[in-house]
Amino acid sequence: MENHYGTKDKAIAIFWLLVLTFLWGLTFPIQKLILVEEVSPFLYNAVRFWIATFLSALIFKKSDWKRGIILGIVMALAYATQTWGLTITTSTKSGFITSLYIVIVPFFSYVIELERIKTLQVVGFVGALIGMYLLSGGIHGYNFGDFLTTICGVMYALHVVLITKFSKQTDEYSLLTPQFFTVALLNTIFNLFYSKQAWNFSYNALFVAAFTAVTATIVAIVIQAKYQKVVGSNVSALIFVGEPLFAMILSIIILNERVNLTQSIGMVLMLLSIILGVLNSENSEGAKTVDEEENRIV
């Protein structure tokens, strides 16, 4: 059964989903800082998600293990390939390739939720793809790290759609602890096969892991599970175009990366794509109201 939300609900959802994109964008430069210290990406993810598991278990008492484990497996593959890839490729390129999940979401959304893509969304996704390409300078010199990050993008697109689907079927908070536990356990196992100083861990890495566990994991997934279903997977994906934008802006501030004219044009295109996503959400509400009025007249 389809859930119906008002304009105010959607405006609140859009605001918090934008906050979410900022939190995700922030992870790229700060994780790049500590992953150059030869910290195993799998150990980093394991520590981050063990912290998240412990905290979420204290805060949220309900657990849907069936759906949570499914989400956890998909998320574990996404985070493992992204973080491993980030040790090989650049922060900006990682942000671009990861963000390709945005244009993959409509495929999974149609297959899993039967959510059709609309005209404004098509324009938004095309603009986002071009903008992300220009922002990153393309993917010249595609390497193994980029390949791993591509797998991350596919897994993350699947995770976005599954979050929307499962959060409509159960208490969204019950998905957190099982999901985080699964990611932590799988990354711990992955780390057993990672030979490069697999168990080294610095205090800086511990601080970043704890920070991202709270902000970009617990808070972010709560926001995603609570508000993504309000606007749907496709509109959410267009809002998430802001992730590489924030990643680039914060990489400039934290990592002293620079932006040229081409990248600036890309940023403008991506911003326009976000606006199209927001407009599409408002238009959907308007269309629904008209349909409901017609039904009442009939």
**Position 25 in a domain:** yes
Is 106 inside a domain boundary? yes
Given this model, what pLDDT does residue 93 score? 74
62 belongs to a structural domain: yes
CB under 8 A, 24+ apart: contacts of 5-14: 5/230, 5/231, 5/285, 6/285, 7/282, 7/285, 9/230, 10/230, 10/231, 10/281, 10/282, 10/285, 12/227, 12/230, 13/227, 13/228, 13/230, 13/231, 14/231, 14/239, 14/278, 14/281
Sign of the C-alpha dihedral computed for residues 249, 26, 81 and 63 taken in this order: negative
Tens-digit pLDDT string for the chain (298 aa): 345 678 888 889 999 999 999 998 888 788 777 666 567 888 888 999 999 999 999 998 889 999 999 999 999 999 889 878 877 887 667 767 777 788 888 888 888 988 887 777 788 888 888 887 777 666 566 788 888 988 998 999 999 999 999 999 999 899 999 999 999 999 999 888 876 656 777 788 888 889 999 998 999 989 988 998 898 888 888 888 887 778 878 888 887 777 778 777 887 887 787 777 667 665 554 444 333 333 333 3
The answer to whether residue 208 is domain-embedded is yes
Instruction: Count structural domains, the chain.
Output: 1
- Answer whether residue 298 is part of any domain: no
80 within domain boundaries: yes
Which residues in 113-264 belong to E strands, given as ranges?
A: none
Give the residue from 196, 201, 199, 231 showing the smallest Cα distance to 87: 196
- Domain range spanning residue 252? 7-293
Q: What is the pLDDT of residues 165-205, one digit of tens each?
A: 999 999 989 999 999 999 999 999 988 887 665 677 778 88
Distance (Å, rounded) from C-alpha 110 to C-alpha 250?
33
Burial class (CB in 10 A: 0-12, 13-18, 19+), 78: buried
| pLDDT value of position 298 | 35
**Would residue 180 count as lying in a domain?**
yes
* Residue 1 domain flag: no
Distance CA 61, CA 70 (A): 19
